[in-house]
Amino acid sequence: MSFFIFISLFYYLSFDEFSATTTLLYTVNHVSDHASHVSDVFLLLVKLCVAAIYVLLFYLFRRYFAFASRYIVLISVCIYIATLVLIKVVLPEESSLQIFLWMFIYVFSVAVWNFAYISLSKFKPNWSQMSLLLPMWRSVAVTSAPIHRGIRDFEYVYKQDGVERTSCQISGLRLLYWSLLIRYTGFFVSDVVFGTTTLSYVPFSFHLPNYFGMPFDIYYRFSIPLWKSWMGLFANSFIFLTVNVASLIGIMVSVARMCGFRFYRNTYKPYLANSFHDFFNRVFFFYNELLINFFFYPFWKFSKVLKLPKKTRLFLVTFFTVLIGGEIIHFMRVFRGLENLSLIDMFSIYAGRLPYFFLLGLFSAISVVSKGKSETLPKWYIQGPRVFFYFALYSICTLAQSNYTRMDFVEQIKFFFYFFGW
């Protein structure tokens, strides 16, 4: 059985998705021609190493440390960071071992979330455990689609009955149409506010300069009135949530449903939210699921040693779950492109996202603690402004991470207060 698990892991790591690793690494640290010629061999060794590590972790957590299965992500993060430090601080550039470890980092950062869910199904047979590792899809936003659990979901979402399967397929078709409508609505807003030409038939536009992707000092020179700056802020958030989140993931889920698999929607009726945390959960369902499974529960268990009131612990755990968990998830996803920087520069640039996770964690923690009993949905003229308020809070959070790869932490803070007239 150990051999079967190892082969299954190796098969997963042999998907085309990882073949791009070789090409990516040719540009890392000006890799020499000799290193590029042997990189295919290194990639083979990397796959074997990643598979071996997770076979070991799988058996350790399943047989001896089942009570701590949710800590597998935190252990994996330690391995990830230790490898990164070894590459940047200890090893000489362009060495064979450094190239090998870079490839390990690339593969590891993508595979870790699939592997993590292995530990949550302790009572399933080994062959079923390994089926977790066959992802259905890969998206632009790694944490926004139900890719992490793979086909573990199949056994309880696949509709065998003809009537249920037909109903599931119809719901998938409806979701596909709805996702496409949302996508083109986002394009329309972009054309109207920023003057883009995604849709050629938009009759008018405000032609606002878009701060997203623009150096802040250039944006300052336009002397844009605050109300127009806020219009651009809300437009950016709306475009991201519609085009990149609700639409793309909705299309993926709709295809799965048309194949007979009733997966949950990642974005589901955010206009019914009764709190900021509920709003965020309705927009990023699978991302929240990842945070809860592998960060909230371990932190909550640790918080029990603190002699604090339950609400205080809930506030702190929610805050640090979003702050630490969000930083870890996104760093392991988007660190690519920063390889040529030193370790300190890499982390200092990525620190530009700290204000985003800080505000998001703060708003979420306040929302969770202050949330009362479930209430009936109020009238539309009350619910509408309330949901817009949640959307505005999220937009403020996204503002705090604008162009974080180009601007340092201080510039991020200055730009944030610029929108408040300070």
Structure tokens at 266: 């990642």
Q: 123: which 2 tokens?
A: 């009572």
In the numeric block, the tokens 């086909």 are attached to: 151
Average pLDDT on 264-276 reads 89
Between helices 96-116 and 72-85, what is the axis angle to 10°?
A: 170
What are the residue boundaries of the structural domains of the chain, listed by start? 2-134, 140-202+224-263, 268-422
End-to-end CA distance of the chain: 64
Query: For the whole model, what pTM was predicted?
Result: 0.83
What proportion of the chain, given as a percentage, has pLDDT over 90? 23
Q: Tens of pLDDT along 132-162? A: 555 444 444 444 555 555 555 566 666 567 7
pLDDT score of 29: 41
**What's the chain's average pLDDT?**
77
pLDDT band at 62 (very low <50, low <70, confident <90, very high): low
Give the C-alpha separation, 229 to 231, whole Å.
5
Could you tell me which of 78, 123, 91, 93 has the C-alpha nearest to residue 32? 93
| pLDDT of 248 above 60 | yes
Helix (H, G, I), strand (E, B) or coil at 219: helix
Q: Which of 79-83, 377-381, 404-408 has the lowest mean pLDDT?
A: 404-408
Read off the tokens for 320: 């640090």
The size of the chain, in residues, is 422
* Rounded Cα distance, 236 and 238, in Å: 5
Instruction: Report the alpha-carbon distance of residue 136 to residue 138 in Å, rounded.
Output: 7
Q: Is 295 in contact with 73 (CB distance < 8 Å)?
A: yes
Interval 287-305: pLDDT, tens = 888 899 889 988 998 898 8
CB of 208 closer than 8 Å to CB of 151: no
Higher local confidence (pLDDT), 337 or 282: 282
Q: pLDDT tier at 8 (50, 70, 90 boundaries)?
A: very low
